[in-house]
Structure 1
Amino acid sequence: MKTRSARPLYQYLPLVGFLIAVSSPAETSPRTKIDFNRDVRPILADNCFACHGPDKAKRKAGLRLDLRADATATLDSGGRAVVPGDPAASLILKLTAAENEEDRMPPKKTGKRLTSGQISILRQWVIEGAEFKAHWAYLSPERPPLPPVSDSTWGKNQIDRFILSRLDKEGLKPSPEAAKHALIRRVTLDLTGLPPTVSELDAFLADSSDNAYEQAVDRVLDSKAYGEKMAMHWLDLARFADSDGYHADVPRSMWQYRDYVIDSFNRNKPFDLFTLEQLAGDLLPNPAVEQRIATAFNRNGMSSTEGGADPDEYMNKYVTDRVNTFGTVFLGSSTACTECHDHKYDPFTQREYYQLYDFFNRIPERGLDNDPAPPFIKLPSSEQSERMAKYTNEIAQLETDRRKALDRQSDELSNNQRAWETAHRHRIEAGWQPLREITTSAHSGTQLRRLDDDSLLSSSPPVSGESYEVSGIFRGRELSALRLELVPDGSLPAGGSGRSTNGLSAISEIRLEATSANPAQEPPVAEIEWGGWSSLGPFKAASTKEIFEKGFLPETQPDLSKSYEGGTLKWKQQQGWKDGAAWDLSGENHVSFFHRKVISKSARFARFSAGGDGGFQVWINGQKVENGKVFRRVAAAPDDIVVLLQPGENTLLIRAHHGLGTYGFLFSPSKEPVSRAPVEFARVAADRSEKDSPSSALIDGKTDTAWRAEGRRTAILVARSPIPFSAGVRITARIQFAGDQPMGRFRLSASSSSGFAELAELPQSHQTTLFASPSENSPASRDALREFYREQFDAETKSVVTRLAAARKSAKDLDSQVPTLRVMEDMAQPRETHIRVRGDYRSKGEKVSAGVPAILPPLSSKENVSRLTLAKWLVDPQHPLLSRVTVNRYWANFFGTGIVKTGNEFGSQGELPSHPELLDWLAREFIEGGWNVKALQKKMVMSATYRQSSAVRPEHLDRDPANRLLARGPRQRLTAEMIRDCALDYAGLLDRKRAVGGPSVKPYQPPGLWEEKMFGGNKYEESKGPDLYRRSVYSLWKRTVLNPTLMTFDAPDRALCTEQRSQTCTPLQAFVTLNEKGFVEAARVMAERVVREGGQTLDDRLTYACKLVLSRPPSAQERQILAATHHEMFSAYQNDLTAALDLLSTGESKRAEDLNQLDLAAWAAVGNVLLNLDEAITKP
C-alpha cells in the first residue's frame, strides 16, 4: 500500500490560499527537497515574523527568524532556534509542537497554531540542513529554460509552455480556442477599452487567413484608443485627480499629465524611459517640456488649502504619499508601515523609509497652497503661444515708441510741467488754516500745550494705548482736507517728534467729526427734493448667510432699465409708498432693493431715519454709507443716517435683507437741518509712506496698522467730498496710537482748496518728490516725475502708453488663461530629512540622507544622489522588482489576476506566484526587449493561453474555480469607465475620431450633488455637446464627490495609489444601467442607429443591434425574446405616446423627429434590455 506523505505547504497557508482552490490533495514524495521561499518562509512570515522578524522594536527574546545567522545563533537561554540537521535540538520544532498551551508558539493570544503539516515541513527543512534563501522577489530574475510539456503542438508562443507545464502537473487540459467573435471582442476590449465596431467584427469573421488575428491585434495596438485604455490603470496608480482631496477639495489643473500618460502608451515609450521621466524628468539633461510634465506623477497626491492646518503636517503627508506610491508602483511593496517602525515581515527598516523620503523632500513646495501650487509650469496651446508672441512683439515696439515720445523735446511741455508742480507744491504748503479755539485731551491724562506756531506739545513719558482728542474751529467755506504735521522738538527723546524712547511716532487711526460752528445758519430742509420710490425684488436667497453676502446686482451703478432672474424681476415704481409709513413686504430669506432720486440746490448734508425687521445697507451716489453699521439688524427703533448730497441730482439706494417671519420697512426724511456729521476720508497724501507702515493706515479703520514716522513728517487726509457747513466747521479729531509711540509735537490745520484728490492719487514716489523742494529732488526722482507727467498729460505719449497698457493687459489676461501644471523641481539647498519618531511629524529623530533598502542592490554612487539616481537604480536590468512588478501588472490586465495575485505586495505577506518561472521569463523578456510595452502585451494576447474559450467545465470548478492555473480563457466584468464608454459607443455618441487629450469634462451626474456634499457651495455644470460624451478617462475626477456612475462600478477616489480595484456586485449597479440618464440616452440613441443602419426588417435590425452590443448575432431564442419585447413595447407606446416621447427626449442629444416615434421608442426599450445583459458588461 502506498504511503501518503505530508501535504504540501500551500494547502495550509492563508498566504497562498489560492492554491487550495486549484490543487487537489496531491501526494508529495518525501524525497522532494524543501524550498525555503516556497515552503518555509510563508509559514514563518504568517506565524512568527510579527515577534521574531525584521522589526527590532517588536522582537521577542532577541530571536530573529528571517536571517540564518540569527536563527541559528545561541540564545540567552543557551538553546538555538534552528540547529541545521538536528531537529531534536531545534527549539522552533519543540515549541511549535508543544502540547502545553503556555509553552507553545505562536502564543495562544495570537489565535494562531501551526498545523501538523506545517510542522512536518519545518522538520524536514531542518533535517535537510535548514537552507535559507533571500526572498525570491529580491533576487534578480533570470531567464529560465522552457519547461517540457505533454503536447508540443499546443501553444502559440513561449508563454504557453509554462502554462501547459503547470496544467500537466495538475492533471488539467487547456480549453479550445474561443469563437472568433468572442476573441475579437475580448482582445479589442482588453487593448482599447471599447468593443469592435460592426465593420471590424465582420471583417475579422470573414478573414480566414492564418494571420487574421495578429493583424487585428496590430490594428488595435496602433489605435489611439489603446493609450486611453492603458492610461486608466496607470492613473489609478498615479492617484491622478482634478481636485486637491483634503478639506474643501478645490479644483486643480493636472490634465496635461493624463494626456502625457495616454500619449506615452500610444507612442510605445519604453517603460524604463517612462519611469525615468516620471520620477526625475526635470533632472534629465536639458529636459523637454514633456519630461517636466511627466514629473507631475509625484504631484498628483492630495493637498490642502485649509487656513487653520499645520503646513509642516501636510508637507509630511505629501512626502510620505510619494514614498508609499513609489513602493507600490515600482517595488510592488507596502512601505507605509515603515513610516512608524521597522517592517514586521520584510527586511525594510524605518531608517530606510526616511532615506527614500529624502529623495522626495527636496522640492520648494509649501504645506498649504492654492492651485497652481509651486513649483509649476505653464503650458500654453499653440494658439496661445502664437498670440503671446504677437503681444510680445507689439509690447516691444510700443516700448520703443514710448521711449521716443518721452525723449521728445518740448518747451511747452516743460513749462506746463513746472506749472503743474508749482500748483501742487503751493497746495501742500499754502492755504492752510490752523485750528482755532482748540481744546485737547489725552487718554493718559497728559497735557497738550499749544505753542506759538499753533503746534501742540506733550513731553510726558509714553504710555501704551494712548489717544488724543483735539477740537478746534475752521472758518473756511467748506472742509476739503486736514493736514497733520509732525514737528521735531528738543524736549522729546532723540530730538524727534514722538514721545517714544527713540523719538518715533506710530499713528494707527484718525477719525474726524464735523459740527456746524453755528447750526442756526444751516440751510433749511426745503432745499431738498425727495423723489418717488422704485423697488426691485424680492431676490430669493438660499440661506441667511447668502442674504448678506451674495451680490444680486451692482449696487454702485443701479440700472433701472435692466431685469433680473431671467426677466422675472424688474424695477417697479411704488406710487403708494409714503415716507413715514411702513411698507409691507413678503418673502422668506430674500433681498429687496429700493431706489429714489434726491435733488439738492447745493452741497449739503441730509438726514433720514430707516428701519425694518431685517438688516439693510445704504448707498448714496454709488458710495456705501460708512457709519459703523454696514450690515444692520434693526429692531423697533429706526436708525438715523446722515448722507452728503451733491448739488443737483443724487441717487439713493437701499438694500434690505429679510430672513423669516413678517417683514416691513420704514423710511422717514428728517425736517431738521444737519449740524453734525462724520467726515469720511478717501485718500492720504504724505511725504513718506513705507510698505510696512503706509500712510493709508491713518484712515483704514484698523487698529493693527500704523503710519510710523520720525522727525519732520507731513500727511494730508483728503475728504471724500468737501464738508459744507455755512457758518464754519468745528473739527473734532480723535487720534489713536499704536503701542507706546504717541506723537509728541504736531500741528493740525485745514483747507478748503481743491486738487488734493489728484495729489493723493499720485504714486507715493511722486508724492515724496512734490512734498520736497525742487532743490532736494534727486536727478532720478526728477526724471521719473517728468516721465509720469508726460504719460498723463501729453497726448502723444499718453496715446502710446494707453496702447502699451492695453497690450500688456491683453498679454497678462492671456497668461492667466494658460493652463498650469504642478511639477517636480529640486531646491538649490535641500531640506534636512530626519526620521520621524513613531511617524510623528513633530518628533524629529536621527538625520538621514538619501538611500535605498539594503535588501536591494546598492545605488551606483553615494555622491550627489538625486531622484535621477533613484530612477536609474530602479530601471537597471538587474533590479529584481521593477520588471517583475510591471509584467505582473500587465498580466493582470489581460487575465484578471496577476501571476502574483497580490500585485501591491511581493514581500513575505504577499501570495507566491502561481507560475514563478513564467514571471521571471517575462521579466527578462521585457528587459531584453528594450522595455517594449506593446511587444510584451502582444506576446500575452497572442498566446494560446489568452485565446482559450472562457467556458467553464466541471473540472474547472472542482480544481481551479479562480482560474489561477489558466485552463480556460479570462472572463471578467468590465471596469467602470469601460461600461460607460461601451454604452456611449454602442449608441454612436462617443466620437472615436476625436483627437487625444484636453481639459477634463463633466458628464451627467445627479443635480445638486456637489452643492449637497461640498464645502463652499461648488456648483457642477455639465459639459455641453461632444464633451458630454467623451471617454471616461477624460471625466473630471473629484476625489470627495466621484461621479456616481463610475463610483457605483468601483472606480476609486484616487485619494491614494490604487494597484487593484475592488469588484463588487450590487443592486445599485443594475439601477445605473437601467435608469441612469446616460444609459437611457444611450439606449434610445442606439435605437436611432439601429433603425438607420440596421436594415429594413425586424430580423436585420435585431442582428445589427446584437452585433453592436454583443459582437455576435442573436441566437434563435434571443431573437424570439427581443422581437417579442419590441412588439410588446410598440403596443404599449401606441397607448401612451407621451411616455414614448419622454423616453426619446432623455438626455441632451436631439431626438430624431424624422423617424417613427413609436417604433423608435420600442427599439429604445430593446436597446435598454441589451445594455443590461451581463454579456454587455463582461469580457467574453
Structure 2
Amino acid sequence: MRGLLAWVGIPVIVALHHSTASGVDFNKEIRPLLSNHCFECHGPDNATRQADLRLDIRPSAMTVITPGKTKRSELIHRIHSNDPDRIMPPPDAQKSLTNPQKQLLVRWIKEGADFQQHWAFEPVQQEISKPHRSDNWSRNPIDHYIYNRLRSEGLRPAAPADKATLLRRISFDLTGLPPTLEDAKRFLADESQDAIEKYIDQLLLSSAYGEHMALYWLEASRYADTDGYQNDRTRHHHVWRDWVIMAFNENMPYDQFITDQLAGDQKPNATLKSQIATAFCRNHRINSEDGSIPAEWHVENVADRVDTFGTVFLGLTVSCSRCHDHKFDPISQKDYYELFAYFNNNAEWGVGPNNGNSPPFIEIPPAWPNISKDLDKPVRPEPLRLSNARQEAGNGLKRPQPGSATTLMVMHDLETPRETYLLNRGQYNLLDKSQQLYPTVPSALDFNSTLQPKTRYELAQWLIHPKHPLTARVAVNRYWQQIFGLGIVESSENFGVQGSLPSHPELLDYLATTFIQSGWDTKALLKQILLSATYQQSSDVNQDLIQRDPNNRLLARGPRNRLSGFALRDQALVASGLYVQGIGGPSVRPYMPPRIWRSISNNSYKQDVGSKLYRRSLYTYWRRTIPPPTMMNFNAAGREVCIVRTEPTNTPLQALTLLNNKIFVESARNLAQQALQQGGESNTKQIEYIFQTILTRLPTQQEIQILTESLVLFQQRYAEHPEEASALVSVGESITNERINEQKLAALTMIASTIFNLDEAITK
C-alpha cells in the first residue's frame, strides 16, 4: 500500500487486547486474503516492503486499522478508493479485491480485527478433546473427527468397502505389492471380527513393508545412484537406501530416525549404523565438471541440505529466503544462513572426484547388511577412515574392487568450523562480512528459549522436542497423504502462510499428539489409520458428491488412487511369477531403450541379465539426468531435489507404457503361459485364472463374455498372422515353453495385457 502511512496525519490508537469475536476467522479467511493480495509489498520481506507497513504482524497492521471502527481505518478507505493512485492493492499489481473480499475485511474490523499467529506455528494441542461417540459408524477417534465434519457439511459416510476391495487396498498401502492368492483365500475366508487387524499386522511384519515405506522417503531425500549435472557419474549410496529399509522394518522410532540421519555422527557413542544414516545429508547432487569452482558448489551442496531440511522436517519453503527475506513467512535471509551454519562444517571440498564417491566417506564391510548386530557397536573416528576432502577430491578415488569395502558419503564436521556469512542474492562470492553468523533456529520457531542448538545433533533434539509445532504435524500429514492421496494439509511441502489450511485441524493435532505419545511409532500410526471406518469406506461416488467434494477432502468416501509406476511394474512381476525377492544390494538395470542415455552422454545403457531384470522397482538404477521413463510417466519425483508431493496426471503415455513396455508384455506372456498350464482347458477357465491372479476376484459373467469374445478375435488374428504371434511371445528374456502353441499363447497374452490395463488393476 504505497504511501499509506504518509496519508495518516495522527497516530491511530491501537487496541490493547485481541478481539475474541467468533465471527470472521483470521487464519482461515483474513490471513490468506492478506497473503495473496498484500504481503508481497507489506509482508515479511524488508527489501520489498512499501511504506514501512507490515500487515502480517499486529502492531504494524494496527497503524492502518482501528479495531471496531471501519471509518477510522485507513485500510478500509484505501480498498474502497476510486483513485488509481490511492486504491490498494494498486491496479498495476493485478491483485484487485472483489466486493465479497472487501466486505469480509470490513466485517473483520467491525468485529475487532482479531489477529492470530499462523496456525502451523501454534503449539500442537497436547490435550485434544476427543468428540463424544454419537454415531454407530466410528471405530476410533479418527472417525469422530471425520464424522463431525461430514455432519456439519450435511454429508454422510459411504458404506463399508467389500473385503476383496479392502484386501487389495491394504496390501498396496502397506507393502506396495498386490496380495497373494493364498493371502486372499485366507483373508476372505476369515469371518472373525479381527480379520482385518490380523491382516494388517501380518503385512506390517513383512519385509515388503520396509521396502514400500522406504520408497517415499527416498523421493523426499532425493536419493539417486548418480551425482547429477552434466557428468552425472555413478555414486555408491545403496547402503544408505538399505539402512532406510532396515529402519522401517525394525520400526525405528521416528525421532531416532530423524536424529540418526541429521547427526548420527555426533551422537554419543556413535555407531557405524548411525554414521551410515547421515548419508541422508549427502544425497544432494555433486558437480564434477571440469572448471567447477569448489567454493561455489560447496554453497550449493549446503543450500540443498538446508532446503531439504526445511521441506522434509518443517514443511516450510525456507529456500525462498536464500536470496532475500521470505515474502510470506517469518523467515528472514539471516534466519536462512543461520540454518545454513548447521550444515556448513562438513569436511568436503565442494566438487566431486573423477569417479566414485566424494569425501568424506566411510568404508562399509563387504558383508553389509548381514552384520546388523556389529553395526550397533560404538565406533571411534579412527576406524571410519574418513578421507581428507581436499586431497581425495583433487586426486580422485579408485573404484572399490570386487569383494572390497563399499564407500558411502557421510557427514563429518571439521575440527575448526567454517565461518558463515549471509550471501547477498544467494551468490557464493558475495559474502556480507559485516556480521558472522552462527547456528541458530528461526525466531518464529523458537518455542523454547532454553533450547538453543549449536550442533546438528542439538538441532535434531530441538526438532523432536514434544513442543515443536511442526515436526509431528508434518510427519503424520505425509503419512496421511501416503494413504489417502492428499494430506490433511494438502500442500504437504508448505505449512506456511501460502500453504493450504488443514481440512481437519483437530484431527491433525490428535494424530500428531498420539504419534509423539506412542514413542513416535510409525507402524502404530498407520495401523490406527487403516483400522478406521474412514479408511475402510467404499470409494463409490455419485454425481452430487463429485460436485461438492471432487478431491475427497471431506472423506465421505474411501480412498481410490492410481498406483505408482513402481507398484504397477511390481504388480505385473508378482502376477506373472517373474518377481525376484531380495532385500538391498546394489541397484539393478532392468529393461530400458538401449540408446536412452545417448542424449546426455556417450555412455550406452548396459542392461542387466537374469534375475536382476525382475527385482523390485525400488532397486532400479536411478540416473538423475535420465530417470527410468516408466516411473516418470506415472509422476515419480525426478530426485534432483527434495520432493514430498507430486501431482497425478492422466496421459496417453501411461496407457502406451502399460501396453507396450517390455516388462509388461513379458509379464502378460508369462501369466498367459501359467493360465494355459494351470488354469484349465477352456477359455473361460484360463480367463478366470488370469483375472483372479491380477485382481484377486473372479470376473462377472459380463466380463467373461467380453473377454471371451476378445480372445476369439485374437486367436483368429494370430492364426492368420503367425509371425506376429512369434514376435509377441519372444518379448523378454524369460523362456517360453516350446510345447505351447504360439498362437494360443499370443492371444491369451493380449487378454492378460488387457486385464493389466483395467482401471481396477491400475488403482487401489
Please give the TM-score of this superposition, normalised by the length of structure 1: 0.59
Offset, 1:1135: 3.0
Q: Which gives a bigger RCO, structure 1 or 2 (Cα 8 Å, sep 6+)?
A: 1
The equivalent residue for 1:948 is: 537
Distance 1:378 1:132 in 2: 55
Q: 1:127 aligns with which of 110, 126, 136?
A: 110
Q: Aligned partners of 1:243, 1:32: CA distance in 2, in Å?
A: 55
Find 1:827's aligned residue among 408, 414, 419: 414
Report what 1:313 is aligned to.
296
User: 1:1005-1024 maps to which residues of 2 (within 5 A)?
Assistant: 1005-1010=592-597, 1012-1015=598-601, 1017-1024=602-609
Of 738, 746, 764, the match for 1:1161: 746
2:565 maps to a residue whose letter is A
- Counterparts in 2 of 1:326-725, with a 5 A limit? 326-370=309-353, 371-382=356-367
Listed as ranges, the matches of 1:250-265 within 5 Å are: 250-265=233-248
Where does residue 61 of structure 1 map in the other structure? 51
Partner Cα separation in structure 1 for residue 623 and residue 329 of structure 2:
35
Worse overlay, 1096-1105 or 1112-1121: 1096-1105
1:238 is aligned to 2:189: no
- 2:504 counterpart of 1:918: no
Q: Which has the higher helix share?
A: 2
The 8 Å contact of residues 239 and 1058 in structure 1, kept in 2 or not, is answered as yes
Structure 2: distance between partners of 1:918 and 1:1028 = 43
The one-letter amino acid paired with 2:227 is D
1:1111 is displaced (CA, Å) by 2.3
The equivalent of 1:188 in structure 2 is 171
Matched, 1:1138 2:687: no
Maintained 8 Å contact 1:54/1:343: yes
Q: How far off its partner does 1:1095 sit?
A: 3.4
* Cα gap change, 1:205 to 1:906, in 2 (>3 Å): same
Equivalent of 2:475 in 882, 886, 903: 886
Structure 2 CA distance for partners of 1:828 and 1:860, relative to 1, 3 Å: farther
Residue equivalent to 2:130: 146
Partner Cα separation in structure 1 for residue 234 and residue 603 of structure 2:
10
Cα distance, 1:313 vs structure 2: 1.0
Letter in 1 for 2:131: P
Pair 385,1125 (structure 1): closer, same or farther in 2 beyond 3 Å: closer
In the TM superposition, what whole-angstrom CA distance separates every residue of 1:777-835 from its partner, at most 9, and x where no partner exists? xxxxxxxxxxxxxxxxxxxxxxxxxxxxxxxxxx9985883211101111111100000
Contact 2:230 2:600 in 1 (8 A): no
Give how far 1:904 is off: 0.5
- Equivalent residues of 1:946, 1:969 under 8 A apart: yes
Q: Given that residues 138 and 533 in structure 2 are in contact (C-alpha distance below 8 angstroms), is that contact kept between their aligned partners in structure 1?
A: yes
Q: Against the structure 1 CA distance between its residues 835 and 812, is the aligned structure 2 distance closer, same or farther, given a 3 Å change threshold?
A: closer
Alignment-derived partner of residue 584 in structure 2: 997
- Seen in structure 2, the aligned counterparts of structure 1 residues 860 and 273 have a Cα distance that, compared at 3 Å, is farther
Give the Å deviation of 1:1144: 1.3
The Cα shift of 1:85 comes to 2.2
Amino acid in the other structure paired with 1:380: P
CA distance in structure 2 between the partners assigned to 1:95 and 1:1032 by the alignment:
58
In structure 2, relative to structure 1, the CA distance for the partners of 1:863 and 1:345 (3 Å cut) is: closer
Match of 2:552 among 951, 960, 963: 963
SS in 2 for 1:202: helix
Which of 1093, 1103, 1106 pairs up with 2:678?
1093
Matches of 1:316 and 1:979 in 2, distance apart? 39
State the shift of 1:71 in Å.
1.4
SS in 1 for 2:436: strand
Q: Secondary structure at the match of 2:362?
A: strand
State the SS of the aligned residue for 2:495.
coil
Cα distance 1:813–1:915, how it changes in 2: closer, same or farther (>3 A)? closer
Correspondence for 1:1129: 714
Partner residue of 1:283? 266
Q: Mark the CA change 1:986 to 1:914 in structure 2 (over 3 Å): closer, same or farther.
A: same
Q: Closer, same or farther in 2 for the Cα pair 1:133/1:110, shift >3 Å?
A: same
CA contact (8 A) 2:366 2:403 kept: no
Amino acid at match of 2:319: A
State yes or no: 1:162 paired with 2:152: no
Q: In the aligned structure 1, how far is the partner of 2:452 from the partner of 2:149?
A: 47
Q: Is the 8 A contact 1:182 1:1111 kept in 2?
A: no
Whether 1:836 and 2:412 are equivalent positions in the alignment is no
User: Aligned equivalents of 2:326 and 2:609: distance in 1?
Assistant: 51
Distance in 2 between the 1:812 and 1:1022 partners? Answer: 20
Q: Distance in 1 between matches of 2:368 and 2:559?
A: 46
Correspondence for 2:465: 876
For the Cα contact (< 8 Å) 1:976–1:1047, is it kept in 2?
Answer: yes
Q: Is the Cα contact below 8 Å between 2:296 and 2:428 reproduced in 1?
A: yes
Q: SS of the counterpart of 1:946?
A: coil
How far the C-alpha of 1:1061 sits from its partner, in A, is 1.6
Aligned-partner Cα distance in 2 for 1:82–1:39: 17
- Once the two structures are superposed, residues 868-897 of structure 1 have per-residue CA deviations (whole angstroms, 9 ceiling, x without a partner) of 010000000110001000110010111110
* Structure 2 counterpart of 1:377, one-letter code: I
Post-superposition Cα deviations, 1:632-675, rounded to whole Å, max 9, x if no partner, equal: xxxxxxxxxxxxxxxxxxxxxxxxxxxxxxxxxxxxxxxxxxxx
Looking at structure 1, the residues matched to 300 and 436 of structure 2 have their Cα atoms a distance apart, in angstroms, of: 18
SS of 1:824's equivalent?
A: coil
SS at match of 1:947: coil
State the Cα distance separating 1:1100 from its structure 2 match: 2.6
Structure 1 contact 148–165 (Cα < 8 Å) conserved? no
By how many angstroms is 1:125 displaced? Answer: 2.2
Structure 1 stretches lacking a partner, 5+ long: 1-29, 73-79, 387-810
CA distance in 2 between partners of 1:860 and 1:1098 (Å): 73
1:531 match: none
What's the secondary structure of 2:535's corresponding residue? helix
C-alpha displacement at 1:860, in angstroms? 6.7
Distance in 1 between residues matched to 2:360 and 2:635, nearest whole Å: 33
In percent, how many aligned pairs have the same letter? Answer: 44
Q: Distance in 2 between matches of 1:1173 and 1:906?
A: 37
- C-alpha separation in 1, matches of 2:150 and 2:404: 60
Please report the RMSD computed on the Cα atoms of aligned residues, expressed in angstroms: 2.0
2:445 corresponds to which letter in structure 1? L
1:1111 aligned residue: 696
Provide the rounded CA distance (Å) in 1 between the counterparts of 2:369 and 2:519. 37
Structure 2 SS opposite 1:33:
coil
User: In the TM superposition, what is the alpha-carbon distance from 1:321 to its structure 2 partner?
Assistant: 0.5
SS, match of residue 855 in structure 1: helix
Tell me how far 1:285 sits from its aligned partner: 1.3
The amino acid of 1:365's aligned partner reads: E
CA separation in 1, counterparts of 2:590 and 2:666?
Answer: 13
Secondary structure of the residue aligned to 2:408 is: strand
CA contact (8 A) 2:591 2:607 kept: yes
Following superposition, the deviation at residue 287 of structure 1 comes to 1.4
Is residue 488–residue 502 contact of structure 2 (8 Å, CA) maintained in 1?
A: yes
> Residue 727 of structure 1 aligns with which residue?
none
Pick aligned residue for 2:100 from 114, 117, 123: 117
Query: Comparing both structures, which one devotes a greater share of its residues to strand?
Result: 1
1:1103 deviation in Å?
1.9
Query: What SS class does the counterpart of residue 119 from structure 1 fall into?
Result: helix
Contact 1:851 1:859 in 2 (8 A): no
CA contact (8 A) 1:281 1:291 kept: yes
Counterpart Cα distance in 2 of 1:62 and 1:159: 45
Q: 1: distance between equivalents of 2:148 and 2:557?
A: 15
CA distance in 2, matches of 1:62, 1:384: 59
Instruction: Note closer, same or farther for the CA distance 1:860–1:1035 as it changes in structure 2 (3 Å cut).
Output: farther
Does the CA-based 8 Å contact 1:271-1:931 persist in structure 2? Answer: yes
What is the Cα deviation at residue 219 of structure 1? 1.1
Per the alignment, in what secondary structure is the counterpart of residue 246 of structure 1? coil
**Contact (CA 8 Å) 1:859, 1:869: kept in 2 or not?**
no
